[in-house]
Amino acid sequence: MKHVKLGDLDVARIGLGTMGMNFAYTGAGSDDAESIRTIHRALDLGVTLIDTAEVYGPYTNEELVGRALKGRRDQAVLATKFGMVSHTGRTGLDSSPANVRTAVEGSLRRLGTDYIDLYYQHRVDPETPVEDTVGALADLVVEGKIRHIGLSEAGPATIRRAHVVHPITALQSEYSLWTRDPESGVLPLLRELGIGFVGYSPLGRGFLTGTISSTDQFGADDFRRDNPRFTGENFQHNLRLADEVKAIAVQVGATPAQVALAWLLTRGDDIVPIPGTKRASRLEENVAADTVELTAEQIALLDGLAPAAGDHHNEAQMRMIGR
């Protein structure tokens, strides 16, 4: 697989998001053995960026990834996140230096490693100046506990302030054919500063795969039941968007998921999508998107698709984005 740079961090063109392996999309339950096989298959296929977070579970997703990487740690660029869980007694987001210190030790232990390649602030903490948070992270870089610093869903002003304290390697935010928000302000800034972009939910939480026709397909604990884009008239509108992707997939001789990922890969060599899956077969499908070639006309058609209806998170989560 082709490799690209996130800042100065070398990664394969497509990464793997592990959240859904035992959190948020679990439905009938998780299959740890299959999830570990999926991570191993990813490494076999040349995927390097493996993404998790402290809050997934909480903690259990990092433990799962740690088990999967045992004996293969050197093949992975391991990314995790902090700040959604407070270890200092605070309520809500906590990116205080004290919490950063406690969080990283827990993540290192659960992941079974002595360093984290890319450590993200999961959401901007409005009670802690980002300079203080990045200062604490910079100390961890000096100590060798983390190698690169990332932000997630931060706004342009915060990114600039953080980058002054210590170079930011990557910003992780949602980006796909149905979430185009980063294009207007964030991506131009990242390119100005030399920061890479990691796109989560590049398949629209499964919607762009063309396999979702009803929310009855979701388990009772599936968080998409609370997502505005999967409800009411929004859902019906967004089905038409998925149908447009399907039509181009037929032209290309690929799956809708591969077309959605191939489109994202055309947006720049500084963008790395991290589609999530807990099945090796879906992983193989996603990775094969690297070989799908879209014509200029097809790219233009995808570029011009009507935006998805509804916010891409629920109200509480939307308040944490773009700070």
Q: Is 59 a catalytic residue?
A: no
Question: What residues pair up with 185 in beta bridges, in sequence order?
Answer: none
Confirm if 77 and 11 have CB atoms less than 8 A apart.
Answer: yes
Calculate the CA dihedral of residues 69, 74, 77, 83 and round it to 10 degrees: 60
128 to 94, 172, 228, 275: CA distances (angstroms): 8, 20, 30, 31
How crowded is residue 212: how many other Cβ atoms within 10 Å of its Cβ? 19
Q: Which of 56, 119, 175, 200 is catalytic?
A: 56
Handedness of CA 59, 62, 220, 314 (dihedral sign): positive
Active site residues: 56
